[in-house]
Structure 1
Amino acid sequence: MLLASLSALAVIALVPSPAGAQSLSPELKALDEQLPGELVSDPSRIDWDSYGPDFYAESIVDESIPGGGAARRFHINRATEFIYTSGTNIPLIRDVDRGDVITIGFWARTVEASTPDGRGVVRVRFQQDAPPYPGFGEKTLEIGTEWDWYEVTAPVEQKLRRKDGIVAIQFGRTKQILEIGQAIVVSGASTIEGTPVSTPAPTVLAPTVENLIPPPLAGQGKLLNDPRSREWTITAVSGLSEPRDEPGIWLGKATKLVSTAGSANGPGVTVRIPIGEALAEGDEFQIAIAACTVSATTPTGKALIGISVEHGEGGKSRFAENRMEVGPNWQLIRVRTRAPAAVAAGTGEVVLELGEMEQAVDIGPVYVLKPH
């Protein structure tokens, strides 16, 4: 197994190496001298190109992640017939010649998977990232639920150029959530495991709020709030709230809201979520709430959430009142509305209300967007 000293290398995002560069940076050159064979990837990057239908990827940071405390989390929300319909591509930074041997090693674990044993399924393939996408060395791996190191080795059947050579990790045939951390690709060696290496700490770029917009909302406007913030005002007249980690939804956090019944004092549970930025009278904007039903005593088994917007000091004015049904799987509830009056910065709130019946819902991130 790779030594713990390797853990300083993996990060969310780095300033990438120049495209097609044959020479290595001083940091990668130092690593190359310690590894078997020749280093042909940049292990300090995990901002790999990813793709797939009903799919999204996000970066996560946690000190417990081996290989540097960072990884990419891949959500495959719908299985397809072919495994290659969803995947991620790790680019090569050096040529690899035919007749050589190539090895990839990477950290990975399965968060959840719709397989009998709960293990994820991926296929590793060395290939050219250009039509007709010729490749070799295909191997299917089962990924366990604990972090582990996985390797695939193959003889090089065709030259891979730094211009378009990749290692494809494909996973579209299974509904699953996978996490893949640091990956290292070498040529001229049949294994990386067991090699003692040490590396300098890389430079990490801080994420921006705009980069937090999930794929279904991409291009739909400017964020007026910070969806990472869970500093909500929650009032439970007849119910409770329970925050927790939730890897199954964007940004990895959720709050379970439980309403035991309505009361004369108002809804069982009320949540107030700050909008943040100001709105002018007549401004159009969209509220998008990630939510799913845990349980509900409604005829359909789906919870009902009241959604509105309030603003102003003291006695607040309310508009955009809606009542939305929430299904049992994570979904985006969307409300498009227009400000009937100016909303000063820091005075607007999205208000969620649960009441009238026994029900429980999970609320993930909330996004407020104004069209550009």
Structure 2
Amino acid sequence: MRPLRHPFRALATLAVASLALPFIAGTAAAQDSAALEALDAQLPGDLVNDPSRIDWQSYGADLEASSVVDESIPGGGAARRFEVKRAAEFIYAAGTNIPLTETVRRGDTVTVGFYARTIEADTEDGNGVLRVRFQRNVEPYPGFGEQTLTIGRDWAWYEVSAQAEQRLRSADSIIAVQFGRTRQAIEIGQAIVVTGADSIAGAGPVAVAAAAYAIPELEMPESLEGTGTLLNDPGQNFWKFGGSAGRFESRHEPEIWMMRATRFSVAEDGTTLTDLAATVPINQRIDEGDELVIAIAARTISAQSEDGRAVAASRIQGTSPPFESFAANRFRIGPQWQLIRIETRAPRGYGAGGAELELYFGGTVQEVDLGPVYVFRKARGE
């Protein structure tokens, strides 16, 4: 995560409301576990990611990321489309991160494979270009196994393999897929990461596709329907994380929309609010004067506070210098799932991917579950 450029001197009090959420039951946890076990049994080595998920964290000031669902897409019928609007000097200026769910030990052979195709690219042959890197997603972003791939116009299976030069922890390690140096539109579908094997497909990508299963669809709370234009991807919870105050863990939670949450845990006093943070990318542009609505699903698991409620904060911040920020808020979170609603006005414009929502959970001993996050632009005149 990029270091904070602006200290949290004061937190403004804007329109913040909490709404209780209904209980949402489901059996997806058992189904997901069985599907992953079935896939793992068919693969060489050990599966160390969740191939059913494509809600990866993406970044880049000139990048637009969106979801594509079509039965013709191999490996599950869904993909992420990445459109680089303007080429940058460095390939890592835009990319997406595939998180690991298991630790990779130093010396292990680790292999990533994924489906991909190019829609268009500003290259001589019209093919896209991306780089794959195994790395930790914390400064100074140490990694290994860099390899640049040429992505053709038709769906194909691509693999990169390397020997782990360092230990990759499941809590903060990723497969970095970088593509910012070329103006292009690329689609990436199901991705699989294994250890203990230098090839995944073996007999061919069809064998991998046969074990795939569907990607969960986006769910919208009834209270947010008609709010406006959605500017982020609420189905994604593999955000950027940072801070030294505690830890974070991705969890399956059947009581909340899309049944995914991240638990933030602070174990020691004496930290500051910004010492444990998540960064939620805002993929669409924001215009000066836009009326924005931020809705955050969250609940307190435990907190050493007088009322037993956890304290959190949020603000919207630019992704490039001078990293201006606005809509700073502090709020308390109850023990049941709540939808915390924040309304604000943008003081300036930001291009697509030029702003992000920062969420902070440090400052006191507490455990907080963070569910889906929604950022809307209200229609003019509402």
- Tell me the TM-score range normalised by the shorter chain: 0.5 to 0.7
State the match for 2:379 in structure 1. Answer: 369
Distance in structure 1 (CA, Å) of the matches to 2:381 and 2:199: 51
* TM-score, with structure 1 as normaliser: 0.52
Give runs of aligned pairs for residues 292-371 of structure 1, distance below 5 A: 369-370=379-380
Judging changes above 3 Å, is the alpha-carbon distance between structure 1 residues 113 and 207 closer, same or farther for their aligned structure 2 residues? Answer: farther
Of residues 45, 49, 53 in structure 2, which corresponds to 1:41? 49
Distance in structure 2 (CA, Å) of the matches to 1:75 and 1:34: 33
The structural deviation recorded for 1:30 is 1.9
Judging changes above 3 Å, is the alpha-carbon distance between structure 1 residues 215 and 71 closer, same or farther for their aligned structure 2 residues? Answer: same
Q: Provide, for residues 249-273 of structure 1, a one-character-per-residue CA deviation record: whole Å limited to 9, x for no partner.
A: xxxxxxxxxxxxxxxxxxxxxxxxx
Judging changes above 3 Å, is the alpha-carbon distance between structure 1 residues 174 and 41 closer, same or farther for their aligned structure 2 residues? Answer: same
Of residues 197, 218, 239 in structure 2, which corresponds to 1:206? 218
Residue 181 of structure 1 pairs with residue 214 of structure 2: no
State the match for 2:236 in structure 1. Answer: none
State the match for 2:330 in structure 1. Answer: none
Residue 91 of structure 1 pairs with residue 99 of structure 2: yes
Contact 2:229 2:378 in 1 (8 A): no
State the match for 1:116 in structure 2. Answer: 124
Q: Provide, for residues 293-316 of structure 1, a one-character-per-residue CA deviation record: whole Å limited to 9, x for no partner.
A: xxxxxxxxxxxxxxxxxxxxxxxx
SS in 2 for 1:215: coil
SS in 2 for 1:95: coil
State the match for 2:59 in structure 1. Answer: 51
Distance in structure 2 (CA, Å) of the matches to 1:53 and 1:144: 25
Contact 1:105 1:151 in 2 (8 A): yes
Judging changes above 3 Å, is the alpha-carbon distance between structure 1 residues 211 and 109 closer, same or farther for their aligned structure 2 residues? Answer: farther
Distance in structure 2 (CA, Å) of the matches to 1:173 and 1:207: 34
The structural deviation recorded for 1:43 is 0.2
Give runs of aligned pairs for residues 1-372 of structure 1, distance below 5 A: 25-194=33-202, 196=207, 198-199=210-211, 201-202=213-214, 204-208=216-220, 212-213=230-231, 215-217=284-286, 220-221=291-292, 369-370=379-380
- One-letter identity of the residue aligned with 2:178: Q
Judging changes above 3 Å, is the alpha-carbon distance between structure 1 residues 203 and 127 closer, same or farther for their aligned structure 2 residues? Answer: closer
Higher-Rg structure is 1
Q: Provide, for residues 62-120 of structure 1, a one-character-per-residue CA deviation record: whole Å limited to 9, x for no partner.
A: 11111111100001001111000100000000001011100000000010110010010
Contact 2:63 2:84 in 1 (8 A): yes
The structural deviation recorded for 1:138 is 0.1
The structural deviation recorded for 1:368 is 6.8
Question: Structure 1 runs of 4+ off > 6 angstroms?
Answer: none
Distance in structure 1 (CA, Å) of the matches to 2:163 and 2:75: 26
How many correspondences in the alignment?
214
Contact 2:52 2:215 in 1 (8 A): no
The structural deviation recorded for 1:33 is 1.4
Judging changes above 3 Å, is the alpha-carbon distance between structure 1 residues 201 and 113 closer, same or farther for their aligned structure 2 residues? Answer: closer
- One-letter identity of the residue aligned with 2:216: V
- One-letter identity of the residue aligned with 2:379: L
Distance in structure 2 (CA, Å) of the matches to 1:163 and 1:16: 23
Judging changes above 3 Å, is the alpha-carbon distance between structure 1 residues 78 and 207 closer, same or farther for their aligned structure 2 residues? Answer: farther
* TM-score, with structure 2 as normaliser: 0.51
Judging changes above 3 Å, is the alpha-carbon distance between structure 1 residues 165 and 371 closer, same or farther for their aligned structure 2 residues? Answer: farther
Contact 2:291 2:378 in 1 (8 A): no
Distance in structure 2 (CA, Å) of the matches to 1:211 and 1:188: 45
Judging changes above 3 Å, is the alpha-carbon distance between structure 1 residues 200 and 154 closer, same or farther for their aligned structure 2 residues? Answer: closer
Distance in structure 1 (CA, Å) of the matches to 2:172 and 2:53: 17
Please, which runs of 5 or more residues in structure 1 have no aligned partner? 1-14, 18-23, 224-284, 287-330, 332-366
CA RMSD in angstroms, aligned pairs only: 3.2
Judging changes above 3 Å, is the alpha-carbon distance between structure 1 residues 163 and 371 closer, same or farther for their aligned structure 2 residues? Answer: farther
Contact 1:221 1:370 in 2 (8 A): no
Distance in structure 1 (CA, Å) of the matches to 2:129 and 2:212: 33
Contact 1:92 1:166 in 2 (8 A): yes
The structural deviation recorded for 1:31 is 1.2
Q: Matched residues, percent identical?
A: 55
The structural deviation recorded for 1:205 is 2.6
Distance in structure 2 (CA, Å) of the matches to 1:95 and 1:65: 29
SS in 1 for 2:123: coil
Q: Provide, for residues 343-370 of structure 1, a one-character-per-residue CA deviation record: whole Å limited to 9, x for no partner.
A: xxxxxxxxxxxxxxxxxxxxxxxx9714
SS in 1 for 2:379: strand
